[in-house]
Every structure is written in C-alpha cells, then in structure tokens.
Structure 1
Amino acid sequence: MAAYKAALINEIEKLYKKKKALVALIISLVVIVLGQLAVVGVRSGFGVRGAGSVEFPVLVLSVVVNTILPLFTALIAIDCFSGEFSHNLMRVTLTRPVSRLKIYTAKVTAIAVFILANLLILMVFSMLAGFLFNANSATITAVARTVLVYVISLFPLFTLALGIVFLANILKSGTSVFFVAIIVFLAIKAFGIFFSEYASLLITTQLDWYNLWLANSLPLAKIGREFCLMLGYALMFFAAGFYLFDKKEF
C-alpha cells in the first residue's frame, strides 16, 4: 500500500506540473464567465429570467461535460502513457520498486483525481457566479443536488479516460491516440444520433448521466442499468489496458 501511495503522489505531482491542467481550468472559467454574461444579457435584453443560481452550474456542466472535459481528459490520459512512452520516461518509472499493476493503477487514479478536481473547481466557480447574479433562487436542497450531479459526473468521464488509456497502450504515438480518440468519439456520437434506440448503450450518451439525478422522481432502474454499463466498460478498459501495459517492453 505504501508503494502504491508513493506512486500515486508522484503521478499527481507530475500532472500538477503539466500546463494542460492549468489550461483546462482557464478555459472552464472562461466558459463560466461567457455563460453568465449570456444569461445576464438574455435577462436584461429580453426580460427572460434566465438560469438561477443553482440552475447555472448545471447549465455549465451540460456544456463542459460534452466538450472541454473529455478533450482535456484525453490529453492528460495520453500524457500519462504515450507521453512517457515516447520520452522514455516510463523506463525510469519502472526502475522503482513498485509493481506494474501499482504503477498503472496509480496513473489511472491520478487521472481520476484530475477529473474530479476540475469538476469541483468548475462547480465552485459556477455556483459563485450564480449566487452573485441571482442569490435569491438558492435552496439547500438545490445546492446539494448540484454538488451531487458534479460528483457523479466523474464516473462517466473516468470510464471514457480508461478507454483512452487502452488506446494509448495500443498506439505508440500520442498524436495518433488523440486523433483516433476524437474520431471514435465523434463516430459513437453520430451512431447514437442515427440509431437512437441503441444510444443508451453508448459511452458518449452516458456523459449526460447526471440528468437522471435531476428528475423529481429518480428513475432508479435506469440509473442502476447505466451504472452497471459504465462499470462494465470501466472494468474491461482497465483490464485490457493493464494487460497491454504489462506486456510492453521498455
């Protein structure tokens, strides 16, 4: 356990120093500012109420969870594996007295920490922006629900990240992994549009999983089914990715 903890801290420190994490945060904050300006403009120009203090964070989440966060999650996942493969840094990592399973697990855990940190920072700033412009609409229940939907959004994004890690262990070039991931992501999105009856089975559709938790009456059966699907995807991607990682020679 101590070896895994040390490996995890090392991976988090490496992610912390990467500029991509800072860029992801800056772009997320820009989305918040532009979104709130748009809400204020609609409210003042057309007399429409716009999004309230707790509705605005959900509006921001609906935008970033399908655009910015998957993009930067892909970049971070690629850096953790393909980036170290191409710069021969993985060989240095493997010289430490830590098993490959612990190194692999530490890397994917660090990616999960990156995703969760981005979600929480985004949530805090979007809620602050919402309170600043429409504090009267906030209730404890609504705030708790907002926190919930941000936290549970970690799971589908992390499942997506494990899929990209799997690709990163197949392809050598980080650029190739990135473009293949983008093409596959868009192809699955298009498949879900044209074959909507199968959309609920697709990982891209599950990025909107948080919407199920916003219903007045929770559809527990559907939530449970999508959770099991994502868990199945996550376990398969993790196992397949580790198998390839364990067989690699550095």
Structure 2
Amino acid sequence: MTNFKTSLINELEKLYKKKKAMVAVALSLIFIVFGQIFISVLRNNFGVQGVSSSEFPLLILSIIINTLLPLFIALITIDSFSGEFSQNTMKITLTRPVSRFKLYLSKILSIFIFAFSILILCMILSIISGIIFNLNSFNFLDVSKIILSYIVTILPVMILCLIIVILTNILKSGIAVFFLSILIFIAFKALEIFFPSYSGILFTSMFGWYNLWIMDGIPLFKIFRDFMMILSYDIILFTAGYYIFDKRDF
C-alpha cells in the first residue's frame, strides 16, 4: 500500500508540473467568464432571456464534457503514457519497488483526480459567476442539483480516458493517439445522430447521464441500468488496458 501511495503521489506531481494542467485551468476560467458575459449581453441589449444563473452551471457542464474536458483528458493521458514511452522514462519508473499493476492503477487514478478536479473547478466558477450576476435565482435545491450533476459526470467521462489509455499502449506516436481519439469521439457522436435507437449503448450518449439525476421524478431503474453499463465499460476497458500495458516490452 505504501508503494502504491508513493506512486500515486508521484503521478499527481507529474500532472501538476505539466503546463497542460495549468492551461486547462486557465481555459476553463476564460470559457466560463466569457460565457456568462455573453449571456448577460444578450439579455441586457437584445432582450434574449437566455438561461438563469441556476441553469448556467448545467449549461457549462453540457458544453465542457463535449468539448474542453475530452481534449484535456486526451492530452494528459497521452502525456502520462505515450510521453513516458517516447522519453524512455517508463523504464526508470518500473525500476522502483512498485508492480506494474500498481503503477498502471496510479496513473489511471491520477488522471481521474485531474478530470474530477477540472469538473469541480468549473462547477465552483460557474456557481460563483451565477451568484455574481443574479443571486436571487439560486436556492438550495438548485445548488444540490448542480453539485450532484458534476459529481456523477466523472464516471462516464472515465470511459473515454480508458479508451485513450488502450490506444497509447498500442500506438507509439502520441500525435496519432490524439487524432485517433478525436476521430473516435466524433464518430460515436455521429452514430448517436444517425442511429438514435442504438444511442443508449454508445459511451458518448452517457455523458448526459447527469440529466437523469436532476429530473423531478428520478427514474431509478434507468439510472441503475445506465450505471451498470458505465461500470461494465470501465471494467472491460480497464482490464484490457492493463493487459496490454503488462505485456508491453519497455
């Protein structure tokens, strides 16, 4: 357990020191501030109602999970795996008294923590932005729904992370992994449009899973069904990724 904890701290320090992590924070802040300003301008100058301050964080969530967050996850995941493969630093890491499984798990958890941190940061910034622009539209129930929405979103988002992990362990080029990840994401989004009857089994459709949790009548069975599907995706992809990682010759 001590070796795993040390490995996880080491991976988190690597992510913290990378400029991409700081860029992700900066872009999230800029995106939220300009989004709120844009909505306020439309409301004040053009008479467009737009969204209320309590709805603004959910609007931000729906946008970032389909744009910025997948991009950030792809870049960080590629750095954690392909970056170390190309720089031959993975060999040095493996000389430490930690098993391949613990190393693999620590890398996955560090990416998970990074993605969750970005989500929480966006949630806090969007709530603060909403309070500044229109405090009266907020109540405890709205805030509870917002917090719940951001928390449960991390589970389907990790499916994309695990897919990218598999690609990084198959392909040598980080650039190839990046563009292939984008193509896969776009392809699944297109399949949702052209084959709506099968969209329920596509992992990209699960990015809107949080909507089930904030409905007036919560569909418990559908939530449980989707949770089991998300969990199945995560277990299968995690296992496949570790198998390839374990068999890889460094």
Report the Cα offset of residue 147 of structure 1: 0.6
Q: Distance in 1 between matches of 2:164 and 2:54?
A: 32
Aligned-partner residue type, residue 19 of structure 1 = K
After TM superposition, the structure 1 stretch with the greater mean CA deviation from structure 2, 220-229 or 115-124, is 220-229
1:207 to 2:207 alignment: yes
| Partner residue, 2:228 | 228
Aligned-partner residue type, residue 4 of structure 1 = F
Question: How many aligned positions are there?
Answer: 250
Q: Unaligned regions of 5+ residues in structure 2, if any? A: none
Q: Aligned runs of 1:101-250 on 2, under 5 Å?
A: 101-250=101-250
Q: Distance in 2 between matches of 1:214 and 1:46?
A: 30
Report the Cα offset of residue 42 of structure 1: 1.8
Q: Distance in 1 between matches of 2:34 and 2:56?
A: 12
Q: Distance in 1 between matches of 2:197 and 2:232?
A: 20
Q: Distance in 1 between matches of 2:106 and 2:160?
A: 17
Q: Distance in 1 between matches of 2:141 and 2:50?
A: 20
Aligned-residue CA RMSD (Å): 1.0
| Partner residue, 1:76 | 76
Deviations 1:59-104 (A, max 9, x none): 1111101000011101111111111001001001000000000000
Q: Distance in 2 between matches of 1:78 and 1:231?
A: 23
Deviations 1:190-219 (A, max 9, x none): 111100000011011111111111211111
Report the Cα offset of residue 220 of structure 1: 1.3
Q: Aligned runs of 1:27-38 on 2, under 5 Å?
A: 27-38=27-38
Look up the SS of the partner of 1:96 in the other structure: coil
TM-score relative to the length of structure 2: 0.97
Q: Distance in 2 between matches of 1:106 and 1:246?
A: 14
Q: Distance in 2 between matches of 1:67 and 1:26?
A: 15
1:90 to 2:90 alignment: yes
Aligned-partner residue type, residue 153 of structure 1 = T
Percent pairwise identity: 50
Q: Distance in 1 between matches of 2:44 and 2:110?
A: 43
Q: Distance in 1 between matches of 2:46 and 2:180?
A: 43
Aligned-partner residue type, residue 96 of structure 1 = R
| Partner residue, 1:45 | 45
Q: Distance in 1 between matches of 2:26 and 2:213?
A: 28
Look up the SS of the partner of 1:74 in the other structure: helix
Aligned-partner residue type, residue 102 of structure 2 = K
Deviations 1:14-34 (A, max 9, x none): 000111111111111111112
Report the Cα offset of residue 50 of structure 1: 3.0
Look up the SS of the partner of 2:203 in the other structure: coil
After TM superposition, the structure 1 stretch with the greater mean CA deviation from structure 2, 207-216 or 107-116, is 207-216
Report the Cα offset of residue 225 of structure 1: 1.3
Look up the SS of the partner of 2:91 in the other structure: helix
Runs of 4 or more above 6 Å deviation: none
